[in-house]
Amino acid sequence: MKFFVDTAEIDEIKDLADSGLLDGVTTNPSLIAKSGRDFKEVILEICKIVDGPVSAEVASTDYETMQKEADNIAGWAENIAVKVPLTEAGLKVCKNLSDNGTMVNVTLCFSTGQAILAAKAGAAFISPFVGRLDDISQDGLQLISDIVRIYDNYPDFHTEVLVASIRNPMHIIDSAKMGAHVMTAPPKVIKQLYKHPLTESGLAAFVKDWAETGQSIL
């Protein structure tokens, strides 16, 4: 499974990139607004930090303006994945971009039918929102399982399932069990994967025992 981080905070991205865990980055208008910085400036800086796909989202909803924005964003860096909403206009833009070799991340997916449409439009990534479905008492992980199964039935589909709106480590683990290709999560959730009480208690015991020897490795 590829690990993307869902943030526009440069320091957080650098920290994860240094660990070797990071395969890409996703952003959205809300994350850019939270950063308080210029959109293009942030995206270009991220693209220099990571070699993998960096999702940068269009802001318009009508086809003509969305296409202009997408064409502009696509030219910023080679590892840009233009992010478009799963609407009729968004999928038209997706088809145009993918035909020209540009990676497209189709976002705000909430059904298998939508995922099929995105694959047929040539999307590089489809982003089903697990947490937001859970919020309305629907099974977000079941959607991931269904999309993976459908895509596996059709070798001509090359769209990767990018699990989004991840709220906890189990969303990541369960999605990996289902065969999802990519996940994107906030830095805090990714770092929770490090933690286990037995790891912490075991390390504390090792440190205590070593201290009692009075020795030093350095």
Which residues are the active-site residues? 83
* Residue 152, C-beta contacts closer than 8 angstroms, at least 6 positions apart: 179
User: Taking the mean position of all CA atoms in its chain, how far away is CA 77?
Assistant: 18
Distances (CA, A) of 138 to 62, 128, 161, 163: 29, 13, 19, 15
**Count of Cβ atoms closer than 10 Å to residue 170 Cβ:** 11
Cα distance between residue 178 and residue 145, in whole Å: 6
Of 113, 107, 116, 123, residue with least CA distance to 153: 116
Cα distance between residue 104 and residue 91, in whole Å: 10
- Give the tokens for residue 94: 């997706």
